[in-house]
Amino acid sequence: MTEKEKMLAGELYDSFDPELIALRDRTRDLCEEYNRTPGSDRERQNVLLDTLLGGHGTTVHLESNVWFDYGFNTKVGENFYCNHDCVFLDCNEIIFGDNVLIGPQCGFYAATHPTDPAVRLKGLEYAKPIHIGSNVWIGGGVKVLPGVTIGDNCVIGAGSVVAHDIPAGSVAVGNPAKVIKKV
């Protein structure tokens, strides 16, 4: 099994594998080009998104600066909007439904590391998928951690750290994010 296959399977893998380094370098170059493209040049931005993302709806906009580890592991639905300075550590899939709004300076972190220092010092890591439903609003500065699912019709309050699944139709806030009411 290749290191890429291990990564996508959620197993421990070597992130310094030459194939993975080359994929990250390619993605970083694409992100840098996207971030330099004027916001008024939507046509060029869309071409770059076609190359960068694993799939996307027709009405998608990501404000610069935006960063991905791999890009091909992130898929976004229709009517997707992502504000400035967001990071997607997509070592595993990060999937967004339709009608998702993301505030500035958010992070979606599928990547994680072993808690055992001996294993961690070997350079091994793993990743867990993140799934965000449809009709979700994620406030500014939110961090979504590995393995989290946020259901449809949710609101995640600004500055929250989402460490556990959030059921559909919930408003969640805090660190760690907790459901404070139903929509």
Is the bond leading into 99 cis (omega within 30 degrees of zero)? Answer: no
- What radius of gyration, in Å, describes the C-alpha atoms of the chain? 16
Averaged pLDDT for residues 127-131: 98
Q: Which residue has the tokens 């500055």?
A: 159
**Full-model pTM:** 0.96
Where do the structural domains in the chain lie, given as residue ranges? 3-182
Q: Which CATH architecture has domain 3-182?
A: 3 Solenoid (2.160)
Report the percentage of the chain scoring pLDDT > 90.
Answer: 97
Averaged pLDDT for residues 173-181: 98
Position 143 pLDDT exceeds 90? yes
Q: Looking at the annotation, which residues are catalytic?
A: 113
Position 30 pLDDT exceeds 90? yes
Instruction: Give the per-residue pLDDT at 123.
Output: 87
pLDDT digits (tens, 9 = 90+) for 105-124: 999 999 999 999 999 899 89
DSSP 183: -
How far CA 166 is from CA of 46, 108, 115, in Å, comes to: 31, 15, 24
- What are the contacts of 52-57 at 24+ separation with CB within 8 A? 52/27, 54/93, 56/80, 57/98
The H or E element containing residue 25 is helix 18-36
